[in-house]
Amino acid sequence: MELLQHFHTPTFEELNSSVYIAWAGHRVCEPSHRIGPRILSDYKIVLIVKGRGTLCQEDKNITLSAGDIFVLFPGVKHLYYTDPKDPWELMWVSFNGNISENIMKDLSISLNSFVILNSNTAVIKDLLEKIIDSMGNEGDPHALKSTGYLYLLFSQLLEIDSQNEIEPSKVSKDEVINKALMFINLNYHTDIDVNLLCNYVSYSRSYFSKLFKLKVGLSIPKYINEVRIQRAKLLLKDTSLNICEIAKSIGFEDPFYFSKVFKIVTGISPVTYRDTTPK
């Protein structure tokens, strides 16, 4: 095998989806193998299975060898070529989609850092083989299967990134607060409390409680209740759910306690709010 590759023409729905695969392949390179200079429309993850060579992207020239991975960015000029004395064997997958840029950020891959050295070649190679094999079959189920393997590939790259991290990334206090606020807004309907939230952001209870109140202006319990009561207002106004059902929908098991908290926050009972709020 010198070259095995499969292409996929995405549907209109896929073009507007989170992630889709456009191209995947496996090549045993000739000593003269050279690609570019060129630009692509999609992201391309390339695994070097064997051999050595050079990659040029964003004015960076990098010598790479077996086990290394490089990522090509859409719209960015690149050039790569093999060492004629030790030709490359390459495997790749090209993809795009609405969240592709965010995935690259999550993987700490950027135009300043687009190479992963000494990857777990066996695992990455196996996933790329599964992607290529799935793309060799026509039909929506196979496209979905290959995309599933792509997500597993992202997961494996994330694991490599965390293993290669020399020290924990420095996250600003504002980022931690935003992470906590997002967590509350997504999970207000569950049994969340101060300890759970502090464990989620990996801060001590005493320190994070003070930081949260300083940044947000409310204590953690009060903010959680504010979010829950705002949601309760919508449910009271826009649905026919009874008080007990609304309480359970926003994280209160006891409807009487819910009514008490609602009145503390709004000044009136849930029933009064429903009766006096225009539909």
Q: How far apart are CA 221 and CA 223, in angstroms?
A: 5
pLDDT at position 169: 46
pLDDT at position 167: 40
What are the residue ranges of CATH 1.10.10.60 in the chain? Answer: 173-276
Q: Please list, residue by residue across 126-136, b when 16 or more beta carbons sit within 10 angstroms of its beta carbon and e when fewer do.
A: ebbebbbbbbe
Q: Which two tokens stand for residue 178?
A: 């935003």
Q: How far apart are CA 64 and CA 274, in angstroms?
A: 66
Give the CA distances from residue 17 to residues 12, 32, 44, 157, 266, in Å, rounded to whole numbers and listed in that order.
9, 38, 18, 22, 41
CATH number of 173-276: 1.10.10.60
pLDDT at position 161: 58
Cβ atoms of 126 and 152 closer than 8 Å: no
pLDDT at position 278: 82
pLDDT at position 46: 97
For the entire predicted model, the pTM comes to 0.64
Regions of the chain short of the pLDDT cut 70: 1, 138-142, 161-171
Could you say which of 2.60.40.10, 3.10.290.20, 2.60.120.280, 3.20.20.70 is the CATH number of the domain covering 3-164?
2.60.120.280
What are the residue ranges of CATH 2.60.120.280 in the chain? Answer: 3-164
